[in-house]
Chain A
Amino acid sequence: MNRLKPAQAGTLESNDIMITVAPGAQASGVVIELESIVLAQYGEAIRQTIAAVINRQNVTDIYVKAVDRGALDCTIQARTLAALDRAGAILQKELI
């Protein structure tokens, strides 16, 4: 599924995360570039949360830029879903 258009969701306010998605090169998989105020402590967990949401939507070859301001898991999931939705990725109904 690589008919994504570039899209963004979230803000740079405290407790939020800004997710920008764009089509990745063919066979590049899911590439996540993360900037976070808690990168050392939670960087890996944030990446995993974003990747899990993307994988559940069967989206591949996507570039994600995430700028985190201390978002909780539910916010990371919501902003990733919103970005994918805006990018035109078909969302599985059970996730709604």
Chain B
Amino acid sequence: MELRRSMLFLPGNNPGMLQNGGVFEADAIILDLEDAVAPQEKDAARWLIAQSLKTVDYGLSEKVVRINPLDTYARQDIIAIVPCRPDTLLIPKVEKPEDIKDVSQLVAAAETPGQTPVKLIALLETPCGIAEAYRIARADKRVVALAFGAEDYTAALGAKRTKEGAEIFNARSIVVNSAAAAGIQSIDTPFTDVNDREGLLADTELAKQLGFKGKLAINPRQIEDIHKVFNPTEQEIDWAERIIKAIRKAEGEGSGVASLDGKMVDAPIVARAERILYLGRLLGLAEED
């Protein structure tokens, strides 16, 4: 499973940001054709993103392009962008499985021979999208994650958006659960006050606690803090290593259940420990097996 702790939005019509996207060390960079680009500049941004995808070195960052919604410019975006080999498209305002199926068909038609299939991430930012989250997650094999956009969502609800986020608690839980049930990742809404570092850390901690695998970011300054929260801690890695050791010992003795520090260790605990170690090894924080 790919690392998507941080996914950083870069405005699609800003050459300075696009050309420097690789230096921020985000797990993914999102070249944005939607909200960051004025309607009369969509065409110019399409050309700019197309050329950037072909020539700029984005290092290890996953190259994601947020296209426009299906009822506006999605078709033109897909035709122009897909042949330039982005890794993934972020689809805004997805409300039903058919939206994903339509996008998938357009992407398939635009892909060039031999091209690695373009992945899709569904951005759920309306009450309908949240209500259909599970079916959207399972709509197409290209879908690798559900992402949550809280600003549009709370506006549609008519609820006040707060830093504490009580108004989005239910939607967040639905997104996480739907993605997990479909076996894909869930990515949390961005924290929009770039000057509030404590707020970002608290909001990211909450996202991790709920089960999100990463968070959208709107400023490069947010990346380090987001990674800090999503990286496994030393204590978590130590715990995970002890779990694996205990279960292996038990298995050697013919049992599928072990005990550690007086607590039962069974399959779900082992699965969590394995995920922590996998992430730790991927990030060079845990020793190889």
In the complex the two chains form, what is the Cα distance from A49 to B144 in whole Å?
A: 38
A72 B19 Cβ-Cβ under 8 A? yes
Residues of chain B from 8 to 37 with CB closer than 8 A to chain A in the complex: 14-16, 19
Q: Contacting chain A: which of B44-52, B127-135, B169-177? A: B44-52
Q: CA–CA, A14 to B43, complex, Å?
A: 20
Q: Is there a chain A Cβ closer than 8 Å to B244's Cβ? A: no
The reply on B55 being an interface residue by CB < 8 A is yes
What 1/0 flags go to A7-18 for Cβ under 8 Å of B? 001100111100
Closest Cβ–Cβ distance, residue A83 to chain B (whole Å): 9
By a CB distance below 8 angstroms, the chain A residues around B83 are 96
| Interface residue B250 (Cβ < 8 Å from any Cβ of A) | no
Query: Which residues of B from 63 to 87 have beta carbons under 8 Å from A?
Result: 79-80, 83-84
B281 within 8 A of A: no
Q: How large is the interface on A (under 10, 10 to 19, 20 to 34, 35 or more residues)?
A: 10 to 19
Q: Give a binary string over A63-96; 1 marks a CB under 8 Å from any B CB, 0 the rest.
A: 0000000011111011101100110000000001
Interface residues on B, range: 10 to 19
Q: Which of B15, B55, B80, B84 contacts A71 (CB 8 A)?
A: B15
* Chain A residues, CB < 8 A from B14: 13
Residue of B nearest to A8 (CB): B44
- Report the bound CA distance from A85 to B47 in whole Å: 10
Closest residue to A83 on the B side, CB-wise?
B44
B44–A82 touching, CB < 8 Å: yes
Tell me if B16 and A13 are in contact (CB < 8 A).
yes
What is the minimal beta-carbon distance from B134 to any residue of chain A, in angstroms?
36
**How far, in angstroms, from A75 to B14 measured CA to CA in the complex?**
10
Given A96-B79, A96-B83, verify A75-B43 contact (CB < 8 Å).
Answer: no
| Nearest B residue (CB) for A17 | B15
Q: Is the CB of A86 within 8 A of B79?
A: no
> In the assembly, what is the distance between CA of A41 and CA of B163, in Å?
50
**Inter-subunit contact A74/B16 (CB<8 Å):** no
Residues in A whose Cβ lies below 8 Å from that of B15: 13, 15-16, 71-72, 75, 78
**A81 partner, pick from B16, B19, B47, B79, beta carbons under 8 A:** B47
Closest to A84 in B: B47
Check if B44 sits within 8 Å of A75, measured CB to CB.
no
Are A75 and B19 touching (Cβ within 8 A)?
yes
Known A13-B16, A15-B19: A74·B51 in contact at CB below 8 Å: yes
Q: Which of A1-29 contact B (CB under 8 A)?
A: 9-10, 13-16
28 intermolecular pairs with C-beta atoms under 8 Å apart: A9-B47, A10-B44, A13-B14, A13-B16, A15-B15, A15-B16, A71-B15, A72-B19, A73-B55, A74-B48, A74-B51, A74-B55, A74-B56, A75-B15, A75-B19, A75-B48, A78-B15, A78-B44, A78-B47, A78-B48, A78-B50, A79-B44, A82-B43, A82-B47, A86-B43, A96-B80, A96-B83, A96-B84
